[in-house]
Amino acid sequence: MARVAIVTGGTRGIGEAISLALQKKGVTVVANYAGNDAKAQEFTDRTGIIARKWNVGDFDACQSNIEQIEAEVGPVDILVNNAGITRDGTILKMTYQDWKEVMDVNLGGCFNMAKGVFLGMRSRGWGRIVNVGSVNGQAGQYGQVNYAAAKSGIHGFTKALAQEGAKAGVTVNAIAPGYIDTDMVAAVPQDVLAKIVAKVPVGRLGHADEIARGVTFLCGEDAGFITGSTMSINGGQHMY
């Protein structure tokens, strides 16, 4: 029987690439999304991948949707916590709501989703959780104290949860993308983006499918000895 995966934020950008890459590996994918119904429907029509709408920052919504997916599709073997939002601004301009929304979705979503699938993975003796962090969670970024804090928290969350799942065959890893040519990066002013690319040793933005290949590797049947790790895919922008 095919493995079942949930990919949050899975209908656009990096999430779409991850959903498609897992599908190509024979995984049955359910893609979560939060906003654009028309684009989600187009994604499903084009790919055949189920798209379900809920806010990963809402704990109860995560639990109820996981329960429904497991009842309708099957036990969730793979979870990719990819959903993320930005509410950028310096701390002098950032509102508490800007802070809270980013923390609730980007970091809280990882907890909410993992909470719903972790027991089942442990009981079946197999599971793969991959959390999508960011180079800005590793190195920081001006005007992103909320985003950088949430993404940095993902890396600590990954290491701690990995220790809880290791003996039960559940691995927990993270991917830390650099700047990728998605809609989120396209929203960055061109002059700012040019300065960012100038600091990337390989001299370009990354591609979503490059992140997806890293995720599918960590989700593989033969990746059981890799846990608590962060794979940086950033063109050499941040090395440590």
187 Rama class: left (phi>0) / alpha (psi -120 to 50) / beta: alpha
Q: Note if 179 is an active site residue.
A: no
H/E segment holding residue 174: strand 170-177
Max Cα separation, the chain? Answer: 53
Give the DSSP letter string of 62-125.
HHHHHHHHHHHT----EEEE-------B-TTT--HHHHHHHIIIIIHHHHHHHHHHHHHHHHHT
Catalytic option among 33, 96, 142, 147: 147
45 Rama class: left (phi>0) / alpha (psi -120 to 50) / beta: alpha
Query: Which residues are CB-contacts of 200 (< 8 A; sequence separation ≥ 6)?
Result: 178, 179, 234, 235, 236, 237
Q: Which residues are catalytic?
A: 147
